[in-house]
Chain A
Amino acid sequence: MSRRHQNFRNYRQEQRLTQRRIMAAAVFVLLLVIVLMARLFYLQVLEHELYQTKANDNRVMLVTEPPPRGLIYDRNGVVLADNRPIHSLTVIPERVENFPKLKKMLSGIIDISDSEWEDFDDRLKEYRRPYQSLTLKSQLTDEEWAKISVDLYKLDGVQVEAQLTRYYPYGEAFAHAIGYVGRITSKDLERVDKLAYQGALFIGKTGLEGYYERTLFGEAGLSKVEVNARGRIMSELERQNPTPGKDLHLYLDARLQQYAYDLLGDYTGSVVAIDPTTGGILALVSKPGFDPNLFVRGISVKDYAALRKSKKLPLFNRALRGGYPPASTIKPFMGLAGLEYGFSSWTERYFAKGYYQINPDGRRYRDWKRTGHGWINLERSIIESVDTYYYQLANKMGITPIHSFLSRFGFGQSNLLDLDGESSGLLPSNEWKKAKYKEPWYPGDSVNVGIGQGFMVATPVQIASATSALASKGHYYYPRMAKTIGEKPAEFPNGQGGEHDIILKDQRNWDRMIDAMRKVVTDSHGTARRLQGTEYDIAGKTGTGQVFSLQEDEEYDSDKLEKRLHDHALFIGFAPAKNPKISVFAIFENGGSSSKPADLTKALFDAYLYDNYPARYDYLKGKKND
């Protein structure tokens, strides 16, 4: 008997059983629906804020827009550092599906060097916001730009971006004063606000570009944008425009700078011109310079090696870091020191032989004039640059008063207000020698310092600013580059515009010393008498710095020496002597005779005081004249 034909089935009972089960299922359904609603309640009510934040983090992205960099002008409004639009080939790595394929396609269109690819790969590994473009090749030529534009639609993730880049129109003569910007490295980013520099290509590396980086950079614009899952910007939610960087107006005179650079000729050297009434630097020349635009573009390894290896050290900023013996240019300051401490007077006479000895049998410190100068006084010691006078004076004084007096003129310290990297030179002292050589200070050390040799080392900027202080009769201005920043006069952190007064016990000594320096030119025996014949008075002092020490009785014979061992030729001067508007320090390295820097200085005075530049400098004239 099969079950199919059972007659005793209770259909009603079976119906009730299945109906009960359907009821049970219904209850189950309701329970599970409650679970779902509880889950939705948890996500949408309890955790709502968390997920709202997550959703906003997804879609809202902060985009920074680099501000246009402030320009740098000379005193007459000549643009020394400009912004120029360039087109760069950039890549958004997230949009590139196949790099090797892209590489192949791109190389069929324009030339991209291996080093550009290497550079790109390196930067790809650095910290970067997703979907931020990376520059592959900057400064496309118009031809390259046109070629790539045609095929752009085929190249996923590749775009051509217009950017502003720095351009230095007058190149190498200004490189050491203005400095340059270069591509931002990850090292640079460690010392700046990463957010502000997002999207920025360049950062000031040296010179004014480096010192005034924050001022010139401005404030990055910030916009909140809505992006989709693939990083495409859908809309802008909020926007804060970038604040352009502030312009710098310098004391620098572009024509004077270029003229001085050219006047140095084939010599290496430096010229620093300062306005004694303000401390503003009118010219800051270090020769040779280099083309700063190379660094903006990203200098090639070959070019950089050439600059590094050049014997003329073009990357070395002589004006700020060159350590030279001030030589005889120190004499006016030394003379004032003697007067100040009562070791010399204007009337006291001294018999100048061809040499000086501390002890009767001791070493002979030779004068530049073998026959000696005969009976002289302080004034004549300046006019004829009598070495023996200063040997004896320094020996009498000892190093301590010399040190304290010359410190007031800024020797032995860095003084530039708005450029970094200045060397402090060396103004020796007892303590210094003990610390450095574990030896006491010998009288002979003082004798050498008396004529600005020996241990003493100074930079062109130091000597120029000391000269400027002398010209303004003791008003020492810390040298400075910027006249105005933006619309406001430049202010400097160290106090009242960075200046102090040097008060002498007898203030009349300023005039006497300036007069003596005037006679360096006007006197028939003056060492700079070749500068005679100007309509205005020049006060000056020559100097020849020994590069290499002669033996006691050896003669200096320039013909026998290699040029690199020739003496450095120095000159300090200011004009007009009564009411100076410009003071200059010039040095021709291994220039031999001080006639070269003296002639250069006179040429600068003529040009600057009478606006009498050779016509070839008209392009640097600018709009306004003061």
Chain B
Amino acid sequence: MEHDPRRYRTPLWVDWCPGCGNYGILQAVTETLAELGLPPEKTAIVSGIGCSGKTPHYVYANGVHTLHGRAIPYATGIKLARPELTVIVEGGDGDLLGIGAGHFVALGRRNIDLTVILHNNQVYGLTKGQASPTLPYGVKTKSLPKPNIQDMINPLALAIASGYTFVARSYALDIKHLKSVLKEAIRHRGAAFIDVLQPCVTYNNVYTVHFYRKALYRIEDEEPDWDPIVRSPDEETEKKAAALARAQEWGRRIPLGIFYVNKTRSPFEHRIAARNPLYAEHPPANRLSREPQQQPPYTIEEVMSIFKDRLVKVKTRNARRSGIPSSRDRSPEES
């Protein structure tokens, strides 16, 4: 039963437009959770705002639908406080690369064990089709009054430059491919990023299903020896350069697959544990028990010992003269 993907769906009616690429992503996510046998209570899907933001409500696992752009920081808090959880971030292109770009970059620097799925349809769907940060310069989708005058961000290049240690691209309608990449991403220990290209049937009449069918290809089909994995630090520069070069390709031919994997960088959780010896056994979520009423974690002696750098022992002048450590036990008249 645990492996039945239907168990990972909530009974809610899915209110995306018919034909939306999000359906493919949702199906891939629930099937992947099922196939990996991830317990719903130990899994969290964290989203931002926009059409993709509703994804967590359709998945039977913990769902945290956050603020515009902030899915990564909420997910960070969940993961750091309870590292046993599997935490997946789902955000749109405007969410992750526009309003949330700072967080996107910061996650790379930290290499926290999160999986970030970019629902990349190049438009702001829920506000009726404005250009997103991934829409190329000069393109006019149907709801834009004029062609786009901003350049596009290359999500893969940005992820690689930021320090993500797993970087891949897939396609929302190729569920088999997306699932296989997603499984690798979830298994990867560190910050994983998947750029999922996704047609918006309502507002993006340029990057359509028809367009993608012609343009997409898999890297391994063109380069059978493609090996994106950094296994020792000295391979990093070369593999990064190859991934960045491949990531430049956009237009008539668009590559899919795993671009870059670095297994030599430590995940953030290990970095915390290295300097915080209590972290592994007592992560923040387990610092206190579940008892509604309890004693503080420290006695007064422990507080004095932990914060001894602020502790001053009193030696009054009288005590100096008489050898008594303090005047506390004496009456005011005497002191």
Mutual binders A and B: no
Residues of chain A having any CB pair with chain B under 8 Å: none
Residues of chain B having any CB pair with chain A under 8 Å: none
